[in-house]
Amino acid sequence: MRKFDVNTVRKDFPLLARQVYGKPLVYFDNGATAQKPQVVIDRINQFYKEENANIHRGVHHLSQVGTDLYEESRKTIQGFLNAKFSEEIIFTKGTTDSINLVAFGYSKMLKPGDEVLITEMEHHSNIVPWQMACEYSGATCKYIPLNEKGELDLSQIDSHFNSNTKVVAVTHVSNSLGTINPIEKLIEKAHKVGARILIDGAQSLQHFKVDVQALDVDFYVFSGHKLFGPTGTGILYGKKEALDQLPPYQGGGDMIKEVKMSGTTYNELPHKFEAGTPNIAGGIALKTAIDYFDSFDIQELQKYEQELLEYAESEIKKLEGIRIIGEADEKVSVLSFVVDGAHHFDVGTLLDKQGIAVRTGHHCTQPVMDYFGINGTVRASFAFYNTKEEIDQFIQALKRALTMLG
């Protein structure tokens, strides 16, 4: 286990050393994408310089090398999630692609009278695919509402689950609020009525450990780029029996057993859902990213990030005219806020000119913004390579922005 020291860790991430508008970069947009350690960048370069070939189909040496590396990555991810079988790990383009894969399958399996249950705090990527699946199949899409703290309102939880509930899709952590949802309870409720449940883990795995077998979750999805890996990489974990029930998402090479003009038979897992040439370099480098992240004590990183969040919240509360959006009892290191009388875009622009990178807007969670009666927030999201000194710079920049906004 590698000892955590933030100043040492920061040297692993080359982009953190750059300047923006002549100011040192303070990167607080980790909820959108995380920076990449040098080992991940090097691994991508190594593949294209020394190992580049297509995989799974070739008999020549480079193809076999690439295939072995890609499948080693699958096994690493299996271990990272504690999946039972390596074929339960499906490579995708990202969380959005993973959810669409499952939702597309259920659009073929649902029927009128069936219900899909989501929540009011979902990212659009875990709302729209289910609305499309219901529109196609005639099923009904329902949701669990929010409360004023930015948590799920579970006061009437049992009323949301019934014999018609076939699929439940819930985010583990809200990208716009930082709320950690009680997914164990929701998994139990779903299974009690015979429903499958998908958990959107795009904002969770970079903050704490997840064990899919212990959770007994049916589907768990995440994006590689938020876990310090390459963009264009993602994972769908699914219980083998749940994946076997789903029809293929895309047709093409490698997802077939036999193709005749009279019809096609499909391949076994995981290849059934991996049509075409994948992002080979990205998949291999995702292993490198996970190996890097897993070299630390994740509980130690989680504790440090919570210290950053508590410090940022305490400092921002000293400023007048600012309201924090999302004050759940259980949160990851995400700080969303609005400034009285100012547009979030203007605040974000003034911070950017001072070298502070934050996210502004509705964060692809318009129902959340509608609930709070706002059109967007400023969101600062922290990773384990951020520091309290950077938060001080952020607060000073915010003070100057508030003065300019008058």
* Cα 104 to Cα 297: distance, rounded to the nearest angstrom: 37
Instruction: Name residue, tokens 């996210």.
Output: 359
Cα separation values, 143 from 159, 217, 367, Å: 11, 19, 11
Closest residue by Cα to residue 206 from 88, 80, 99, 379: 80
Rounded Cα gap, residues 5 and 208, in angstroms: 18
Contact 236, 273 (CB under 8 A): yes
In this structure, the number of other CB atoms found within 10 A of the CB of residue 247 comes to: 13
Query: In this structure, are residues 360 and 29 in contact, taking their beta carbons and an 8 Å threshold?
Result: no
Residues 395-399: contacts with CB under 8 Å, at least 24 apart: 395/312, 395/315, 395/316, 395/319, 397/26, 397/350, 397/351, 397/354, 397/355, 397/356, 398/316, 398/319, 398/347, 398/351, 398/356, 399/319
Cβ-contact 176, 363 below 8 angstroms: yes
Which tokens sit at 307?
């210290």
Assigned token pair, 285: 């480098």
The CB density around residue 129, as the number of other CB atoms within 10 Å, is: 24
For the residues of 313-340, what is the DSSP string, one character each? HHHHTTSTTEEES---SSB-SEEEEEET
Q: Which of the residues 53, 364, 374, 405 is marked catalytic?
A: 364
Task: Please provide residue 324's backbone torsions phi and psi, each rounded to the nearest 5 degrees.
Answer: -75, 135
Long-range contacts of 63-72 (CB under 8 A, 24+ apart): 66/280, 66/284, 69/284, 69/287, 70/278, 70/280, 70/283, 70/284, 72/287
Q: Is 364 a catalytic residue?
A: yes
Around Cβ 28, how many Cβ atoms within 10 Å?
27
Q: What is the rounded CA–CA span in Å between residue 375 and residue 27?
A: 23
* Residue positions annotated with a catalytic role: 364
